[in-house]
Structure 1
C-alpha cells in the first residue's frame, strides 16, 4: 500500500445547498503536502481557496472525500491545525502576552505557570514582539498585531499552520517585513504550512510549491508548480535568480489564461 503524505487530501468535493440547488465550490481535489513543506494556494476570486483551507481546518465538512493529517482522519477543528486569518482576531481587553497565553493553555498539558509564560515569551521573541508583551492590541500597528497572531498560532505547536491571506490588509513595506518573519520561522521551525495568497511574488518567495486553482464553480487544481529555490532564501538574491523568474512566469501565465478564458479548466 502506498504511504500517504503528511497532509493527504483525497477526492474532496464540497457542495453548499442554495435555493437554486447544490452549489459545487470544489470538485475532486487531490493534494499532498509533505512534512516541513510550505505550499501556497493561489487563484482568482471565487475559486474555492478559502473553502479548501477551511476543509483542512475542519471548519467545513467535505461532501465527498477524506483528509488525513499525519495518518489521522480530519473530522473537525483541532489545535493541531492553527489558523492565521487576515483579521488577527486578538481580544482587545487582553495584553499581547495574555492573548498568546490563551492558545498555550489549550495545548500546554501539565506545564507549570512559569513554563507556560516562558513558552509564550519564546514565541513572541520568534516574531520580534517580546518587547510588547504587556501592551494591548489597541496600542499596536496592524503589522505588529499580525505578528502576535502568528506567535499565538505557532505557540500551539500545530502539526500544520494554515494561513488565509495573512498579510492582505497590510501596506507593502509591512507585508514584506512579515514575509521575512515567516521565512525566518520556516528556517527555524521547519513547520508545515498551507497558505492562501493573491500575491504571485509572495507565493513564489515563500513557498516550496505553488498550487494554482481553476476558476469556480466546481474548481479543481489546475497546476502544481515546484519552486526550485534552496532555503534559506534571501529576498533580494531571489529576485535575480532564474528559478524565481521561471516560477513567477508559470504562475502569472496560468492566472492570465484563466482571466482571459474563465471557463478553461472548469469541470464539466
Structure 2
C-alpha cells in the first residue's frame, strides 16, 4: 500500500452561466514514504489546486486522496504547507510564530520545557535559532522562509507540502534554501511534495518529477524518475549525464505542451 495515494482525483469549480470549470481530472499518483516529489507544469494547470487538495484545504470533486489508509477530507497537522508568501504573523516573534503550531499539536503531550526545546530544535534546524526573538519585519525574505519551514516542521507532519516556496527570492538565497531543504530531507527522511516552475530546482531536489498537462482538465502527463544519488551537489551535478538527461526530458515535455497551447490559440 502506498503512503499517499491520489486516486482518480478531480476538481471542478463553478463558472459563470451555470457552467463548470474542470481544473483537474483523473489525477492518479502513488507516493512512497520519505519520497521527495516535485510537481511541474505550465501556469494555470492546477498545480497549487492539487497541493491544496492534498493539504485538505480544497475538497476533491471526484476521486479521493488517501494518506496512510485514511481519506483526506479536511486540513490537519499531519500535512503542513509552506507557501511562497511566508505568512508569518508580523506582531509575533520568530519564536512565537513557531510556538503557535507547537502549542496546538503538542499542548497536551509535551511539557512546557519540552515544547521550548522542540521549538528551538526546529529553528536551529533551519539555522534561525539566533533570531528567535526577532520579529518578521527584521528579517530578510530568505530568513522568513526559513522560519516558515521551521514552523511547518515543528508540527511533525507526515507530509511537508511546498508551494513554490522560493519563487519570490533572489537566485543566491534560493540556492541556499534549496540546499537547506535537501539537508532537512536527508536528516529527517520526511515525505515532501513541492510545486515549482523551475526545471533545475525540480531535478536537483526530487526523486521523481510529476509533469501535469495543460489546463483545463489537467492530469498527470508524465512521471520522471531522477536517478541521482544523494547527497547532491549542484556544482558537480551541472554536467552529470543523468542530470542533463532529466533536465532535457522535463524541458521537452514543457516545450511540447507550450506548442499545443500556441496551436490552439
Give the TM interval when normalised to the shorter protein: over 0.9
Q: What's the CA shift for 1:261?
A: 1.3
Q: Distance in 2 between matches of 1:144 and 1:228?
A: 31
The CA deviation string for residues 49-101 of structure 1, in whole angstroms up to 9 with x for no partner, is 00100100101111110111011110110010000000001011111011001
Q: Distance in 2 between matches of 1:238 and 1:163?
A: 23
Q: What's the CA shift for 1:179?
A: 0.2
TM-score normalised to structure 2 length: 0.97
Alignment-derived partner of residue 31 in structure 1: 29
Spell out structure 1 runs of 4+ moving beyond 2 A: none
The CA deviation string for residues 164-206 of structure 1, in whole angstroms up to 9 with x for no partner, is 0000000000000000000000110011001000000000000
Contact 1:197–1:203 at 8 Å: present in 2 too?
yes
**Unaligned 5+ residue runs, structure 2?**
none
Tell me if 1:80 matches 2:78.
Answer: yes
Tell me if 1:215 matches 2:206.
Answer: no
Q: What's the CA shift for 1:256?
A: 0.5
Q: What's the CA shift for 1:240?
A: 2.3
Number of residues paired by the alignment? 261
Alignment-derived partner of residue 158 in structure 2: 159
Q: What's the CA shift for 1:263?
A: 8.2
Contact 1:215–1:263 at 8 Å: present in 2 too?
no
The CA deviation string for residues 184-240 of structure 1, in whole angstroms up to 9 with x for no partner, is 001100110010000000000000001000000000111000000011111111112
Tell me if 1:43 matches 2:44.
Answer: no
TM-score normalised to structure 1 length: 0.96
Alignment-derived partner of residue 54 in structure 1: 52
Q: Distance in 1 between matches of 2:231 and 2:68?
A: 25
Q: What's the CA shift for 1:11?
A: 0.5
- RMSD over aligned CA atoms reads 1.0
Alignment-derived partner of residue 70 in structure 1: 68
Q: Distance in 1 between matches of 2:219 and 2:71?
A: 22
Alignment-derived partner of residue 187 in structure 1: 186
Correspondence for 1:89 among 87, 91, 103: 87
Q: Distance in 2 between matches of 1:236 and 1:104?
A: 37
**Unaligned 5+ residue runs, structure 1?**
none
Correspondence for 1:19 among 12, 16, 20: 16
